């Protein structure tokens, strides 16, 4: 006995739809803006701000020495995203970063709605026994 899976939808190779990619980019931009605003307003757990400041000094040294700060910029970006993630986890507006917090929450909700809409609209495979 062989079982085949059949679906009414064409195979897409797993790539997200253009609206989902757009919403993911918007959410990323909103998280970066939130993290940057939190850092500027000194809203942090004490540890991340010190790490970001240290990386900022490294970036300045690299630029002064005319070296590429690429890896340091990536590290800074990840730290900024961690800062924003901590705020979004707490589910409470951050004093001094309210607008960015609301923008990030809205972007997250829009992304979740679209992912749910796509998941329910995609036909599921059906097992056919021969």
In contact, 38 and 94? CB cutoff 8 Å: yes
Model confidence, pTM: 0.77
pLDDT at 73: 96
Domain range annotation of the chain: 18-129
Question: How large is the average pLDDT for residues 31-55?
Answer: 92
DSSP 36-103: HHHHHTT-S-SHHHHHHHHHHHHHHHHHHTT---HHHHHHHHHHHHHHHHHHHHHTSPPTT-HHHHHH
d(CA 97, CA 38): 6
Question: How large is the average pLDDT for residues 4-9?
Answer: 45
pLDDT at 5: 45
The band of 7, judged by pLDDT with boundaries at 50, 70 and 90, is very low
Question: How large is the average pLDDT for residues 13-23?
Answer: 83
């Amino acid at each position: 006995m062989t079982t085949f899976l059949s679906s009414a939808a064409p195979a897409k190779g797993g790539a997200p739809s253009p609206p989902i990619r757009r919403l993911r980019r918007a959410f990323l931009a909103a998280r970066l803006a939130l993290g940057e605003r939190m850092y500027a307003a000194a809203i942090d757990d004490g540890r991340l701000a010190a790490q970001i400041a240290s990386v900022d000094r490294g970036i300045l040294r690299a630029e002064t020495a005319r070296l590429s700060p690429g890896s340091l910029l990536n590290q800074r970006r990840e730290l900024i995203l961690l800062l924003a993630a901590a705020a979004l986890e707490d589910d409470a507006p951050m004093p001094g970063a309210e607008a960015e917090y609301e923008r990030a929450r809205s972007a997250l909700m829009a992304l979740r709605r679209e992912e749910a809409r796509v998941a329910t609209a995609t036909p599921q495979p059906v097992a056919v026994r021969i």
